[in-house]
Amino acid sequence: MNETLLERFIRYTKINTRSDERSNTTPTTKVQEDFLFMLKKELEDLGLKDIHITPGWFLTATLPANTKKDYAKVGFISHVDTADFNSIGINPQVIQNYDGRDIVLNKEKNICMTVEKFPNLKKYVGKTLVTTDGTTLLGSDDKSGIVAIFDAIIYLLKHPEIEHGEVRIAFGPDEEIGRGADSFDVKDFNCDYAYTLDGGPLGELEYESFNAAQIEYTIEGISVHPGTAKDQMVNANLIAAKIAGMFPEKEVPEKTEGYEGFYLLHNMETRIEEAKMTYIIRDHDKQKFEARKQFCIDVAKKIEQEYGNIIHYNLFDQYYNMGDLIKDDMRSVNIAKKAMENLGISVEVKPIRGGTDGSKITYMGLMCPNLFVGGENFHGQYEIACVEDMLKARDTVLEIVRLSQR
């Protein structure tokens, strides 16, 4: 209970909890199971109530109300898994009083995070940063969220004079591969509204997310010896390249921002005899989202018209824009705004250009916007976390709890 937020963060980030989209288990990796059991023991040591791991592998717990006044039941949710990047041997580096210059992550391997490439570093002058050693990710997404929630609970336990209602917390698996929230039990969690702590820099508040879908193309080619290939070979490599060329080149993640949707060629494996391509489809606007899905179907139809029945596709929705529901019940958003304003934090309301567990949880009936956690450059070797901003995330949780009196 005397462990600082920074000490806890470093301890957690050193633990590999990477998920695996190739696995069909829940969680998809044993390391996530182990981490959840470790967190369960730590919650038990704090004396929280109703601690259990649900059949869907969400670790949930309750800090009981300490007043008879009427407070809403508020939940705070983070995920334990890290993204698809090297997570073995994470060696966090702490930079006190950052000076605004380029950061040498690994002198031996000549890996440097430059201000030219990452101008966002200038925001952190004078603050304490945690970085990688240049060979792994850090795991601020979402261990910053976990430690902010933990630290808020510990603070409330140390300060019983702060009146609060029932506070629920949940830590879940496999968010990075889009599966974790599928097994979240809203009825078991039993909250009036909740928040995922899975955002980025200080002040971010997000309650609009993409509508998301995925399409998988399979192209059946015919491989014969090139010397006798005339009128016989069907080269799936070339057809896959043709499909890629049919997609609008400017509607991709690297050329869009804000509310602009995109197509992303996520995976492609090709040989002459067979090619497999996976696209993800994203748009905040539901009508444009449906049009994007139809475009992907039309691509397959055009290939079929030219080459015959050699292409097959599997199209499915992944999640929807939570803003379409939250806009009709803005309590959670308004309280979060007020909490940040009370703390002197400049609020930046913006759409999520990705997904959070909150997208699916909202469609299960629990409004669940997303809060900042104080990290940036997620999912890679240049990931950073700011200690002062993680503490601000903790303070935002505390202020939301305080403001939740009906």
pLDDT digits (tens, 9 = 90+) for 383-401: 999 999 999 999 999 999 9
The per-residue pLDDT for 1 is: 62
Sheet strands side by side (includes 348-349): 49-53, 59-63, 167-172, 74-79, 193-197, 370-371, 204-206, 348-349
Tell me the backbone φ, ψ of residue 124, rounded to 5 degrees: -105, 15
Taking CA atoms, 401 is separated from 58, 247, 343, 391, in Å, by 22, 47, 13, 15
Of 20, 133, 174, 175, the catalytic one is 175
176 is in an annotated binding site: yes
Instruction: Give the tens place of pLDDT for each residue, 328-350.
Output: 999 999 999 999 999 999 999 99
Taking CA atoms, 141 is separated from 21, 43, 170, 379, in Å, by 17, 21, 15, 8
Average pLDDT, integer, range 101-108: 97
357 is in an annotated binding site: no
CB 385 within 8 A of CB 374: yes
Average pLDDT, integer, range 208-217: 96
Question: Which structure tokens are listed for 261?
Answer: 């949707």
Topology of domain 211-318, CATH: Alpha-Beta Plaits (3.30.70)
How many CA within 13 A on the CB side of residue 170? 31
Topology of domain 5-208+322-403, CATH: Aminopeptidase (3.40.630)
Average pLDDT, integer, range 145-166: 97
CB 390 within 8 A of CB 218: no
182 is in an annotated binding site: no
Mean pLDDT computed over every residue of the chain = 96
198 is in an annotated binding site: yes
Question: What are the residue ranges spanned by the domains of the chain?
Answer: 5-208+322-403, 211-318
Instruction: Give the tens place of pLDDT for each residue, 78-90.
Output: 999 999 999 999 9
| 355 pLDDT higher than 80 | no
Of 81, 151, 192, 208, the catalytic one is 81
**Catalytic residue status for 50:** no
**Catalytic residue status for 133:** no
SS3 229: coil
